[in-house]
């Protein structure tokens, strides 16, 4: 009898040890899969933005018959398994593509000196409108010594982003005969305001035959410089880009749009258990 009791106790100890190991290592496995899922979602978003930037640059280069630089920035929210229900994690990815397309003489028909263009898009908002970033005159000298003015797009050298997020969530439980109904709700309001800083390089190379490249001569927004042909030019600041979070019904994910500022994303989840 004593031997049987001892075996029973040993068997119970082994079962307890297995339960503890399963709880510890099972949690680590779940954590590893969670990190892998979040990393994969981030990588997938980055690849989508890269391909979208290239396709849009190719289209614009074909339309303008010139050289195009296209920057696409995407504000979104990824899955966050460690956060509250419906909140997610803010995600910002961006990519820039440059494409040159030329058939015959480069540039738009009748646009003398306008052959280079730049576009900057944040979600659905095109900074500067459909024509892209504003163009400014710059003096250049050709290899035959002819001095002329070309038009170059303003360049973005920095940005300031302010995010205002408001989130609330609750969980309720309702018990009836043989059933417990649980309901989780959340409300998310998120606004992203971005200010882009621009400048113009109007440096002049007075000897195009050598291999040296002149140092940039930048004029920043709010300041002005003088062009020999076009006179004084003032670099204008860009307008603020403000986006609001909303629920995208096509992808069932949270997206951001310029027409959705002030929108509240409401999420509800209900599940039942037996009592």
pLDDT digits (tens, 9 = 90+) for 15-40: 666 676 666 776 777 767 667 777 77
Helix, strand or coil, per DSSP, at residue 10: helix
The distance in angstroms from the start CA to the end CA of the chain is: 40
Task: Give dist(CA 75, CA 90) in Å, integer.
Answer: 8
Question: Model-level pTM?
Answer: 0.83
Overall average pLDDT of the 112-118 stretch: 84
Range with the lowest mean pLDDT among 201-205, 218-222, 243-247? 201-205
Contact present, 82 and 89 (Cβ < 8 Å)? no
Write down the pLDDT at residue 223. Answer: 97
Instruction: Give the residue from 204, 192, 51 showing the smallest Cα distance to 140.
Output: 204
Write down the pLDDT at residue 24. Answer: 73
Contact present, 135 and 170 (Cβ < 8 Å)? no
Which position has the higher pLDDT, 136 or 7? 136
Range with the lowest mean pLDDT among 26-30, 171-175, 196-200? 26-30
Contact present, 66 and 103 (Cβ < 8 Å)? no
Helices (H), strands (E): how many in the chain?
A: 1, 14
Write down the pLDDT at residue 17. Answer: 67
Write down the pLDDT at residue 21. Answer: 67
Write down the pLDDT at residue 104. Answer: 72
Overall average pLDDT of the 215-220 stretch: 94
Tell me the per-residue pLDDT of 232-243, one tens digit each, with 9 for 90 and over: 999 999 999 999
Overall average pLDDT of the 56-69 stretch: 93
Task: Give dist(CA 200, CA 129) in Å, integer.
Answer: 19
Task: Give dist(CA 185, CA 267) in Å, integer.
Answer: 6
Overall average pLDDT of the 243-254 stretch: 90
């Amino acid at each position: 009898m004593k031997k049987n009791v001892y075996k029973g106790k040993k068997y119970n100890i082994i079962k307890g040890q297995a339960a503890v190991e399963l709880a510890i290592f099972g949690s680590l496995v779940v954590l590893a899969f969670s990190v892998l899922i979040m990393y994969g979602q981030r990588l997938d978003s980055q690849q989508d933005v890269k391909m979208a930037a290239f396709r849009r640059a190719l289209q614009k280069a074909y339309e303008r018959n010139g050289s195009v630089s296209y920057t696409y920035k995407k504000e979104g929210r990824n899955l966050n398994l460690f956060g509250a229900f419906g909140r997610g994690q803010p995600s910002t990815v961006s990519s820039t593509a440059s494409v040159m397309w030329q058939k015959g003489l480069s540039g738009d028909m009748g646009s003398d000196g306008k052959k280079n263009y730049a576009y900057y898009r944040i979600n659905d908002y095109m900074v500067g409108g459909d024509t892209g970033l504003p163009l400014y005159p710059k003096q250049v000298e050709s290899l035959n010594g002819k001095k002329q003015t070309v038009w170059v797009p303003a360049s973005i050298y920095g940005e300031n982003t302010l995010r205002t997020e408001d989130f609330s969530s609750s969980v309720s439980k309702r018990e009836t005969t043989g059933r417990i109904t649980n309901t989780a709700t959340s409300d998310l309001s998120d606004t992203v305001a971005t200010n882009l800083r621009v400048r113009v390089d109007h440096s002049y190379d007075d000897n195009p035959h050598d291999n040296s490249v002149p140092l940039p001569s930048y004029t920043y927004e709010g300041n002005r410089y003088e062009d020999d042909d076009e006179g004084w030019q003032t670099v204008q600041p860009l307008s603020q880009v403000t986006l609001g979070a909303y629920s995208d019904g096509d992808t069932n994910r949270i997206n951001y749009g310029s027409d959705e500022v002030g929108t509240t994303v409401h999420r509800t989840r209900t599940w039942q258990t037996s009592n």
